[in-house]
């Protein structure tokens, strides 16, 4: 049996493959310290877990749910966007809960792309943007994000391109993997670009609360809903990655269009999960401050680890990772990553998995206890 042609250019997700390699090393007794994946190791707030426990015990919450999500969750998302982003949303028309925002990436591509439609994809950027576009039979047109340009799109270069067949543009700020924060001026340029060229802008926004005092939404720009839809998630901001709770926000027409596809893919989300998520969205600044204090302490350890490796990096980064340039003695990030994996049993992510523009970089996750970072530093020091 042959696989579908659409998978010809789609490889296995890098981390899926790499984790098998790490598992094999662990079976050999290596005890690898994995500093690669951004899966929060901290728990959600106790009140969130309590809601899930209490609601799950009720006899009437186990049926199929609305394809548009619980009104309670949609209202909580609406209030959350107003409180933190100063964005007005209609909970009945402009919000679509998702079973994780990663599925939303695929839903959007399948909703809007025909075979051969072009999509602007950031390089470096989240690999799922590329694979989702390809699975929908679209064509990726990569735009480079360069350190010297603060990892912002070069709009002058973009305007010189033939954009007539470009239907969509993926953007992501705070940017992953670089951790670059947005400005109001950048967001205004992105919206203006989408309007001028009739391009749907899709903003992926899961990192705005991590090590960032000023969360921003692209929808906060005046009339952004004309060309922008935004994905968001509780995975990073509320330590709920395994719960798979995300959201899509935008104009009523966009929500209805995506729902046409999504409603054929799933049968709604478990109601107690939605109610617990609604509780999570009511948490205040104290919650985020405490989580960020932990990440800030860990980040200082990562800075020390990267200095030990001879990497260069900016301390002005947001999100769950630190992005760093490899020293000249290594050909690329893959070589550095393999070197410390083989010699120190420490894994960090090579930047090349995020695109060609990331090949000279590595990325380190903050999702491990302090003791793991200290042990990783110790191993790297002793491996020299």
Q: pLDDT digits over 153-177, tens only?
A: 999 999 899 998 999 999 999 999 9
Q: How many whole angstroms separate alpha carbon 45 and alpha carbon 239?
A: 8
Q: Quickly name the fold that domain 5-43+285-382 has.
A: 3.90.1150
How many Å apart are CA 214 and CA 285, to the nearest integer? Answer: 11
Chain segment 315-365, per-residue pLDDT in tens = 999 999 999 999 999 999 999 999 999 999 999 999 999 999 999 999 999
Q: CB atoms < 10 A from the CB of 251, how many?
A: 18
Does residue 19 carry a pLDDT above 90? Answer: no
Longest Cα separation, the chain:
62
- Domain 61-280 CATH class label: alpha beta
pLDDT(16) > 80: no
Tell me, what's the pLDDT at 4? 86
Q: Which residue has the higher pLDDT, 6 or 60?
A: 60
For the chain, how big is the Rg over CA atoms in Å?
21
pLDDT at 22 over 90: no
Cα separation, 354 vs 109, in Å, equals 19
**Domain spans of the chain?**
5-43+285-382, 61-280
Please state the pTM of the whole predicted model.
Answer: 0.95
- CA-nearest of 350, 346, 367 to 359 is 350
Residue 349: beta bridge partners? 363
Token reading at 79: 């209030």
Burial letters 59-96, b for 16+ CB under 10 A, else e: eeeeeebbbbbbeebbbbbbebbeebbebebebeebbb
Tell me the two tokens of residue 132.
């989702």
Q: Which residues 6+ apart lie within 8 Å of 323 measured at CB? A: 177, 178, 179, 313, 314, 317, 351, 361, 362, 363
Q: Which residue has the higher pLDDT, 23 or 200?
A: 200
- Is 186:221 a contact under the CB 8 Å cutoff? no
Around 325, how many Cα atoms within 13 Å sit in the side-chain half-sphere? Answer: 10
Q: What band does 14 get if pLDDT is binned at 50, 70 and 90?
A: confident
From the CB of residue 46, how many other CB atoms can be counted at a distance below 10 Å?
A: 8
pLDDT in tens, 84-101: 999 999 999 999 999 999
């Amino acid at each position: 049996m042959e696989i579908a042609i659409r998978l010809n250019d789609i490889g296995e997700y890098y981390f899926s493959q790499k984790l098998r390699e790490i598992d094999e090393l662990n079976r050999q007794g290596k005890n690898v310290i994995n500093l690669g994946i951004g899966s929060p190791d901290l728990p959600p707030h106790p009140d969130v877990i309590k809601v899930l426990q209490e609601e799950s015990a009720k006899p009437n919450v186990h049926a199929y749910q609305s394809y548009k999500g619980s009104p309670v969750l949609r209202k909580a998302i609406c209030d959350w966007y107003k409180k933190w982003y100063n964005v007005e949303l209609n909970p009945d028309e402009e919000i679509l809960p998702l079973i994780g925002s990663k599925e939303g990436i695929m839903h959007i591509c399948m909703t809007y792309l025909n075979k051969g439609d072009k999509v602007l994809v950031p390089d470096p950027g989240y690999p799922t943007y590329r694979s989702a576009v390809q699975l929908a039979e679209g064509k990726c047109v990569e735009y480079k994000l360069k350190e010297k340009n603060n990892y912002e799109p070069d709009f002058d270069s973009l305007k010189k391109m033939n954009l007539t067949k470009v239907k969509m543009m993926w953007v992501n700020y705070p940017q992953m993997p670089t951790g670059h924060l947005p400005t109001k001026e950048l967001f205004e340029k992105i919206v203006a670009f989408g309007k001028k060229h009739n391009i749907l802008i899709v903003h992926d926004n899961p990192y705005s609360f991590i090590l960032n005092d000023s969360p921003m939404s692209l929808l906060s720009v005046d009339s952004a809903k004309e060309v922008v839809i935004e994905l968001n998630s509780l995975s990073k901001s509320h330590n709920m990655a395994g719960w798979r709770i995300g959201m899509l926000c935008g104009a009523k027409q966009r929500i209805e269009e995506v729902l046409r596809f999504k409603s054929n893919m799933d049968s709604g989300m478990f109601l107690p999960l939605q109610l617990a998520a609604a509780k999570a969205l009511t948490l205040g600044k104290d919650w985020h401050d405490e989580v960020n204090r932990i990440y800030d302490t860990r980040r200082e350890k990562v800075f020390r680890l990267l200095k030990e490796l001879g990497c260069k990096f900016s301390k002005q980064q947001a999100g769950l990772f630190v992005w760093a340039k490899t020293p000249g003695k290594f050909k690329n990030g893959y070589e550095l990553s393999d070197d410390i994996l083989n010699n120190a049993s420490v894994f960090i992510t090579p930047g090349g998995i995020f695109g060609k523009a990331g090949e000279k970089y590595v990325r380190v996750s903050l999702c491990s206890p302090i003791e793991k970072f200290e042990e990783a530093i110790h191993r790297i020091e002793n491996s020299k």
